[in-house]
A and B are shown apart, each in its own frame.
Chain A
Amino acid sequence: DAKTTQPTSMDCAEGRAANLPCNHSTISGNEYVYWYRQIHSQGPQYIIHGLKNNETNEMASLIITEDRKSSTLILPHATLRDTAVYYCIVRNYGGSQGNLIFGKGTKLSVKP
């Protein structure tokens, strides 16, 4: 599986867009990009995933570069409740395993 690189921490003002980058320069053609977040002491929460195209759902948007070597998770209007650790995960589902490999993630602090 491709490794990912994320900044250790980021700050964002409440009401502004939070843009969380992720580098996955060794990603291969059949690997998906996933984003999860973990609010303090809770279980991780799925946010969004994509393969090639940009994706949007009620929580966030995922922008994947054309070469697929990096992506950005966008929370359009961050609130204090979005303060959490955000994990970018790249996973190949060509085999039989289904596990997600979590790194250390980015700690996003949304400030009033």
Chain B
Amino acid sequence: NAGVTQTPKFQVLKTGQSMTLQCAQDMNHNSMYWYRQDPGMGLRLIYYSASEGTTDKGEVPNGYNVSRLNKREFSLRLESAAPSQTSVYFCASSERLGPNEQFFGPGTRLTVL
């Protein structure tokens, strides 16, 4: 079991470029999440997907789009990257919404110049 995997691990973009962060889980979880973490801060939720075919906004969705491609995969897209989106991005999954644990991936470190 690989758990939650994320690609790429590191990425540098120029302002205005677009990219997609990939996330996959092999635990047959229904729910998946995207968070961002800025230096010295806790995590903030960007988007989440309660189950395959559904997505909902979190605390900081502006500038991002997501796709729940299937039960395993949940991607995050930056259409026009801005320096304010420089951050570490974490994907997570859980069996379902509700009082159960979330499993996190290793993160993608994104720098926008």
Contacts and interface: CB of A to CB of B under 8 A. Distances in A.
Interface of A: 32, 41-46, 49, 51, 87, 91, 93, 96-105
B25 interface: no
A7 to B, nearest CB: 15
Interface of B: 4, 31, 33, 35, 40-45, 48, 50, 56, 58-59, 88, 90, 92, 94, 96-99, 101-107
A96 B106 CA distance: 26
30 contacts: A32-B99, A41-B88, A41-B107, A42-B107, A43-B90, A43-B104, A43-B105, A43-B106, A44-B43, A44-B90, A44-B92, A44-B104, A45-B104, A46-B101, A46-B102, A87-B42, A91-B99, A93-B97, A93-B98, A93-B99, A96-B50, A96-B97, A97-B48, A97-B97, A98-B31, A99-B48, A99-B59, A100-B43, A102-B43, A104-B40
Nearest to B45: A99
Contacts of A99: 33, 45, 48, 58-59
B42 A49 contact: no
A46 B41 contact: no
A101 B96 CA distance: 17
Contact of A49 (B41, B90, B101, B106): B101
Contact of B103 (A41, A46, A51): A46
Contacts of A105: 42
